[in-house]
Structure 1
Amino acid sequence: MTTATIILVLLVVVALSFDFTNGFHDTANAMATSIATGALQPKTAVLLSGVLNLVGAFLSVEVALTVTNAVVKIQNSDGTPVVGLTGDGGTALLVIVLAGLAGAIVWNLFTWLLSLPSSSTHALFGGLLGATIAGLGWGGVNWAGNGSTIDGLLPKVIVPALASPVIAVLVAGLATWLVYRITAGVADRFTESGFRWGQIGSASLVSLAHGTNDAQKTMGVITLGLIATGHWTDTENIPFWVKACCALAIALGTYLGGWRIIRTLGKGLVEIAPPQGLSAESSSAAVILVSSHLGLPLSTTHVTTGSVLGTGLGRPGATVRWRVAGRMVVAWVITIPAAAVVGALLWGLAALLGGGLMGAVAVVVVLAAAATVMYHRSRQEPVHADNVNDEWHDGGPRTGSASGRTTVSA
């Protein structure tokens, strides 16, 4: 077995680990509101979401093709790796991708530890950007594309990142306002029950949409590694085993449930009633599915968080905790640069050790150590299916300004 092949194996393992963290990090996107309103029991919700993420991962590969050829210049327009990175069996390219994935995982775990619903998509882009800049210089980034198609960091990532939560807030806010107007005068016992049933369908749609949008990103980077090492030559398709492994990894992560983030999104941002939950989930699914159709690697976290916030603004008298929202926005803003810094540092570590097998192993060891530390730290304040819906306390009493809440009036 060659050095490049061993590094490829490490890359596949780390890529699937990223998919796993993506699953449990983003479970909240689909199921937080359904769990918060009691539409689904916590363990039932994550099981349903896991199955639908598995199915969704097989439905589209459009986003997979985006990750590897529209943001960083490590791949030609025909899907083949850049010639300068294919020497020594593609080792140089593999180390860049490996360091980028590791940077994304570290940031995912860090924000999970802090119970912040940040974007796994942007963590991946950030990690790849940092490793690419460290390895190839600033010219290794496709900043604005060539103008003929929607590609490049700015139009493909930054603009959707800014626009998607705003669109989600507006769509969900309008949907919530309409729902409450239409059901005005209907007894709560009827609306609560009916909307809970509706939430099951809408949450399922979000899970399916999440699978179509997120699992493909990892498929893309694994396939690039296979092409670079000569194990795959078809630049138009993804190997079936790659699809299956990525689908299973994200589904397993989803099933285990990112309870810390589910709690923040379901209980910490807005006090959610079933009509709001249905509005948020339906709005999120619509925006995510449209983005997948257009090939935009949208952040499902930004969309779903925007939708939840929109329901708070659309429901007269609803409670919005702006302090929590502010922390989320800060995490969003720094995700790409923070993951980029980690990715660059890990590439630097690998380069310091020769940029070959020893460097790749060092990256994996550092990643494993960081993951272990954060996991054990999380056990000191565990969040699980039995306490995920406990009353929210934001560093103080749940009244007035001390909890950072605002009441929205009609």
Structure 2
Amino acid sequence: MDSTILVLAISTIAIVLIFEYTNGFHDAANIIATLIASRAMTPVQSVLLVAFFEFLGPLLGGTAVADTIGTFVSLGDIDRVLALTIVLCGLIGAIAWNLLTWWFGIPSSSSHALVGGLAGVVMVAAGSHHVAWGFSDLLHGHLSGVAKVIAALILSPIIGFGIGYLLHKIMLRLLRGAHPSINRDLRHLQYVTSAGLAFSHGANDGQKSMGILTLVLLLGGFIPTFAVPFWVIVACSLTITLGILSGGWQIVRTLGFSIYKIRPLHALDSQMTAASVIFSSSLFGAPVSTTHVVASSIMGIGASERPKAVRWGKATEIATTWVITIPGAALMSISCYLVIRAFV
């Protein structure tokens, strides 16, 4: 095998795992924020619980999302060195965006960053026809390619908001007149709901890197067809779990304290909402943003109770970040590619 291809493949695999790690500590806050804000657990307890079920998610959650992410770009018919370089730059762009938003405590989407980073550099380096846009299939009622990814990323927060709104209304009615001691039981129930949210996050987000890593193996000629090897699943499970253990405390403050004042019932409803939306999406092979779903569920819950108490200014700031993440990550990946081309 060509030594250049081998070095590029190894380097890209390492970058995939680094992305998975940044995804873990970037998105850890999405899961533990409501646990900490509602005082159901201490930070250490919440991270350990979440990390355990996060590890199980990629192992037991199937590969439907991995298949979607790993096939929305088509690079099999171009030079292997160029193809691997493109994937490498796309990942670097996504990682750079994750680190930038983490530094400023902004809960942006790792999924958006990955899609933007890869699609941007593919269009510049290989041409837009190498991106499976899926818009023609959409006209025939079939979701595929980028259209499927974007549809999932757009619809999931809307659904999260709606379910959070309705669920909290129902829970308020059911618990009307309950003694304040009910808060203790609600905190205990969060052990189950947060475990479900962690598992669903691992089953969805863990698969994104599994899909890219499998794509790298295919482009490098290490596997004959796109099929996720078991060692890839284990590697991504371990890496995202290590990221979760590192935490993302700046984003915890944003999600847990800057959108709405979280109490035990709010946290429980948010976790149930997010877990159901994310896991359902995983079954359909739709990659979604945990950040979006959790944040929108908190907004929906707050709006159902006291709309004026929701800090819509922070919500607007988060929404703006959602809009600029895809082009922002794309610009970073394109810049990386241009720098490499200038010196190689």
> What's the CA shift for 1:33?
0.4
TM-score (norm: length of structure 2): 0.95
* C-alpha distance in structure 2 between counterparts of 1:263 and 1:44, whole Å: 17
In the TM superposition, residue 300 of structure 1 has moved relative to its aligned partner by 1.4
C-alpha contact 1:271 1:318 (8 A) present in aligned 2: no
Contact kept in structure 1, 2:68 and 2:145, CA below 8 Å? no
For residues 219 and 145 of structure 1, the distance between their equivalents in structure 2, rounded to whole angstroms, comes to: 25
The reply on whether 1:161 has 2:153 as its aligned counterpart is yes
Mapping for residues 67-216 of structure 1, pairs under 5 Å: 67-70=69-72, 72-74=73-75, 82-83=76-77, 85=78, 87=79, 90-147=80-137, 149-154=142-147, 156-189=148-181, 191-216=182-207
Distance 2:180 2:236 in 1: 42
On the 8 A contact 1:29/1:206 being kept in 2, the answer is: no
Q: Does 1:243 pair with 2:236?
A: no
Aligned to 2:68: 66
In structure 1, C-alpha distance between the alignment counterparts of 2:90 and 2:17, rounded to whole Å: 13
Aligned to 1:13: 14
- The question of whether the paired residues in 1 share the 8 Å contact of 2:153 and 2:287 is answered with no
Distance 2:133 2:223 in 1: 28
Aligned-partner Cα distance in 2 for 1:200–1:319: 27
1:225-257: CA deviation from partner (whole Å, max 9, x where unpaired): 11222212242x212221111111100000111
Matched, 1:289 2:279: yes
Distance 1:310 1:288 in 2: 16
1:52 aligns with 53
Counterpart amino acid of residue 8 in structure 1: A
Write the letter of the residue equivalent to 2:7.
I
* Root-mean-square deviation (Å): 1.4
Deviations 1:26-71 (A, max 9, x none): 112211101111111111111111111111011211111111213x
Q: Deviations over 1:62-101 (max 9, x none)?
A: 111111213x232xxxxxxx22x2x3xx211110000000
Give the Cα–Cα distance (whole angstroms) in 2 for the partners of residues 315 and 199 of structure 1: 20
Structure 2 CA distance for partners of 1:228 and 1:162, relative to 1, 3 Å: closer
Does the 8 Å contact 2:121/2:330 carry over to 1?
yes
Q: How many residues are treated as equivalent by the alignment?
A: 339
Distance 1:165 1:224 in 2: 28
Greater share of residues in helix: 2
Residue 310 of structure 2 is matched in structure 1 by 320
> Contact 1:25 / 1:112 at 8 angstroms: preserved in 2?
yes
Matched AA of 2:188: W
Give the deviation of 1:23 after TM superposition: 0.3
Which residues of structure 2 form unaligned runs of 5+? none
Structure 1: stretches of 5+ with no match in the other structure: 75-81, 355-410
* Matched residue SS, 2:310: strand
Residues 134 and 348, structure 1, Cα contact 8 Å, conserved in 2:
no
Q: What one-letter code is carried by the residue in structure 2 that aligns with 1:63? A: V
Q: Which has the larger radius of gyration?
A: 1
Q: Could you tell me which amino acid in structure 2 is paired with residue 351 of structure 1? A: R
Specify the alignment match of 1:225 in structure 2: 216
One-letter code of the match for 2:168? T
SS at structure 1 position matched to 2:114 = helix
Displacement of 1:217: 1.0
> Whole-Å Cα distance in 2 between the matches of residues 145 and 8 of structure 1?
31
Normalised by the length of structure 1, the TM-score is 0.80
Structure 2 letter corresponding to 1:225: V
Aligned to 1:364: none
